[in-house]
């Protein structure tokens, strides 16, 4: 049972990365593509962003119901970056919606856009920083030390920053690929293809940098990596898919391209997951929090599982319907 809950947690996290990531990334890509990109971004994400976003809420609910100690610990130790993530989520959602609906003069429009782009970048960076801090193991469960040692240093470091930048470029990559398929004119397609390649290269370099900086902080990702067969398999597959992606960029086929990239991203996450399983949060003195030592009692897990399964029964067909309705003719104006 625990295993199924872990799988659902993992799946919602992966789906948030893919779907929510595409949303955040769209804001990042818009910054790179400039004003011309605004219309297509609005059109592509307006009907779906709220639904995509619920995957994060689901992951949080699973976390505090199923693994309460992990939720409580990150809430305390990573209060500051999480608060910034929240502000980012608020700013991003509201500025996007305001921009989409407000009939206001161009000037406020420009403000909305600026906020939207800035928060689309800041939020994934701080999400990544938070994850980085969970991996790095500078969080001290005994809460001794100065304010800086307890609440700042665990996330305020180069490693976490690199993980943050990695997340942002990954999201940008997902979005750029997604937007290739949304583009109506060949010139737009070309633009997004170029941006996709750029972000893919950026993501790979950041990924390598994550491993290198970890060494400086005494966290030996390389050796952990080589101990996990699953990780090696997953990351090798990612590497093998990269030329495939490049091939598909030059011979665009929306479905294959999106599928290839989704598989790539999923594998990156699975590979990572395999590497640190069952640890959720590395602790300074070795009291790591794992799925096992933080799990909620049996009765809770059982009810949680029922709620999740019944929920998925409703949600998956509904999602399918939503995407079918809007992707069928995505070239059209949905702004009715």
Partner 1 sequence: MDDLLAARLQMAVSLGWHIVFACIGMTMPILMAYSEWKWLRTGRQVYIDLAKAWSKGVAIFFAVGAVSGTVLSFELGLLFPEFMKHAGPIFGMPFSWEGTAFFVEAIALGVFLYGWNRLNKWVHWLSGVVVGISGVLSGIFVVAANGWMNSPSGFTWKNGQAYDIDPVAAMFNDAWFTQALHMTLAAFVATAFAVAGVHAYLLLKDRKNEFHRTAVRIALAFGAVAAFLQPISGDISAKDIAQRQPAKLAALEALYHTSKPADLVIGGIPNDEEERVDYAIHVPGFLSFLAHGDFEAEVIGLDQFPKDERPPVLITHIAFQIMVGIGFLLAFAGLLYLVFSARWKHMLEKRWWLWFIASLTPLGFIAVEAGWTVTEVGRQPWIIHGIMKTKDAVSPMPGLQYSFYMITVVYLLLTIIIIGLMRRQIATIGTYYPSARTKPE
Shortest gap between Cβ of 71 and ligand HEM (angstroms)? 12
Give whole-number Cα distances, 330 to 101, 116, 153, 301, 334, in Å: 19, 23, 46, 40, 8
Q: Is 114 left (phi over 0), alpha (psi -120 to 50) or beta?
A: alpha
Q: 143 in helix, strand or coil?
A: coil
Among 1, 36, 39, 50, binds ligand HEM (CB under 6 A): 50
Q: Does 336 bind partner 1 (CB under 8 A)?
A: yes
Peptide bond into 278 cis (omega under 30): yes
Task: Note whether 53 binds ligand HEM by CB under 6 A.
Answer: yes
CA-only gyration radius of the chain, Å: 20
Figure out which of the listed residues 1, 4, 7, 57 binds partner 1, where binding follows CB under 8 A.
57
Q: Which is nearer to ligand HEM, 52 or 231 (CB)?
A: 52
Measure the CA–CA gap between 193 and 133, rounded to whole angstroms. Answer: 33
Piece of the chain touching ligand HEM by CB under 6 A; list 53-61, 167-175, 249-257, 281-289: 53-61
Residue number, 20 or 81, with CB nearest to ligand HEM: 20
Stretch that binds ligand HEM, among 18-26, 52-60, 167-175, 216-224 (CB under 6 A): 52-60
Residues 57-116 that bind ligand HEM (CB under 6 A): 57
Q: Taking each helix axis from N to C terminus, what angle separates 79-101 and 21-33, rounded to the nearest 10 degrees?
A: 70
CA–CA separation, 163 and 210 (whole Å): 6
Q: For the purposes of burial, counting CB atoms within 10 Å of the CB of 297, is it exposed (0-12), middle (13-18) or buried (19 or more)?
A: exposed
| Beta bridge mates, 283 | 139
Which range in 71-79, 185-193, 220-228, 259-267 contacts partner 1 by CB under 8 A?
71-79
Write out the binding residues for partner 1, residues 296-315 only, by CB under 8 A. Answer: 296-297, 299-300, 303-304, 307-308, 310-311, 314-315
Half-sphere exposure of 273 (CA within 13 A, CB side): 15
Answer yes or no whether residue 58 interacts with partner 1 by CB under 8 A. Answer: yes
Contact 155, 80 (CB under 8 A): yes
Q: Does 66 bind partner 1 (CB under 8 A)?
A: yes
Footprint of partner 1 on this chain (CB under 8 A)? Answer: 46-48, 50-51, 53-54, 56-58, 60-62, 64-66, 68-69, 71-76, 79, 82-83, 85-87, 89-94, 96-98, 101-104, 143, 147, 150-151, 296-297, 299-300, 303-304, 307-308, 310-311, 314-315, 318-319, 321-322, 325-326, 329, 334, 336
Contacts with ligand HEM, residue ranges (CB under 6 A): 50, 53-54, 57
């Amino acid at each position: 049972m625990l295993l199924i809950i872990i799988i659902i947690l993992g799946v919602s996290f992966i789906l948030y990365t893919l779907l929510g990531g595409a949303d955040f990334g769209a804001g990042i890509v818009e910054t790179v593509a400039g004003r011309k990109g605004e219309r297509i971004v609005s059109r592509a994400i307006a009907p779906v962003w709220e639904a995509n976003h619920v995957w994060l809420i689901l992951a949080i609910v699973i976390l505090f119901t199923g693994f309460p100690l992990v939720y409580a610990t990150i809430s305390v130790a990573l209060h500051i970056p999480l608060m910034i993530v929240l502000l980012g989520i608020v700013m991003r959602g509201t500025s996007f919606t305001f921009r989409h609906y407000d009939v206001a003069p161009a000037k406020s429009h420009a403000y909305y856009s600026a906020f939207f782009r800035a928060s689309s970048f800041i939020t994934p960076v701080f999400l990544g920083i938070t994850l980085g801090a969970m991996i790095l193991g500078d969080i001290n469960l005994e809460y001794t030390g100065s304010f800086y040692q307890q609440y700042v240093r665990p996330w305020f470091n180069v490693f976490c920053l690199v993980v943050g930048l990695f997340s942002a470029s990954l999201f940008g990559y997902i979005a750029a690929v997604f937007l290739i398929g949304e583009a109506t004119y060949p010139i737009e397609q070309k633009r997004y293809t170029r941006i996709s390649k750029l972000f893919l290269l950026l993501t790979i370099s950041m990924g390598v940098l994550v491993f290198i900086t970890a060494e400086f902080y005494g966290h030996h990702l390389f050796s952990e990596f080589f101990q996990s067969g699953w990780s090696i398999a997953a990351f090798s597959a990612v590497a093998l898919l990269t030329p495939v992606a490049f091939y598909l960029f030059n011979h665009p086929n929306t479905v294959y391209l999106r599928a290839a990239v989704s598989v790539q991203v999923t594998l990156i996450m699975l590979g990572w997951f395999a590497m640190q399983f069952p640890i959720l949060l590395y602790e300074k003195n070795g009291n790591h929090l794992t799925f096992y030592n933080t799990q909620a009692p049996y009765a809770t897990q059982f009810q949680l599982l029922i709620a999740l399964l019944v929920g998925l029964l409703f949600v998956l067909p509904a999602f399918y319907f939503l995407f079918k309705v809007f992707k069928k003719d995505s070239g059209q104006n949905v702004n009715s």
